[in-house]
């Protein structure tokens, strides 16, 4: 049950190719953005589709998988944990970021 405390599972499509940075031969990070969509009918009976964008961060082995196999439009399912952080930008404004740290990637195919 401890795995359920901070667990996120998402399935969607990548909005861009992974941005990969290598720090050494064994340490790398990949940043990705994932779109998930949901639809419903409003009061008028019209279909409304909403898309949410999620920031993903994959480290080491998962970053290697992302670099080798993922591209813009790839459908993936991920499992990870939710993290939040903040920083001060170059204009002195405090910014907040929520990301999913990826533990597993399942390749689903292309759109």
pLDDT tens column, 7-24: 999 999 999 999 999 998
The arithmetic mean of pLDDT across residues 30-55, rounded, is 94
Specify the pTM.
0.83
Q: Give the pLDDT score at 54.
A: 97
Assigned architecture for domain 2-110:
Beta Barrel (2.40)
Mean pLDDT of the chain: 92
Q: Per the structure block, which two tokens stand in for 25?
A: 């031969």
Q: Give the pLDDT score at 25.
A: 82
pLDDT at 2 > cutoff 80: no
Beta strand ranges found along the chain (DSSP E): 8-14, 19-22, 28-41, 47-59, 74-88, 94-110
Q: pLDDT band for 3, please (50, 70, 90 cuts).
A: low
């Amino acid at each position: 049950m401890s795995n359920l405390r901070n667990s996120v599972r998402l399935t969607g499509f990548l909005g861009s190719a992974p941005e990969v940075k290598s720090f050494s031969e064994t340490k790398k990070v990949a940043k990705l953005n994932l779109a998930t969509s949901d639809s419903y009918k409003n009061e008028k009976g019209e279909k409304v589709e909403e898309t949410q964008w999620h920031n993903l961060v994959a480290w080491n082995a998962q970053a290697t998988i992302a670099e080798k196999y993922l591209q813009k439009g790839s459908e993936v399912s991920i499992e990870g944990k939710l993290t939040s952080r903040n920083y001060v930008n170059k204009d002195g404004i405090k910014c907040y970021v929520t990301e999913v740290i990826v533990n597993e990637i399942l390749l689903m195919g292309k759109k």
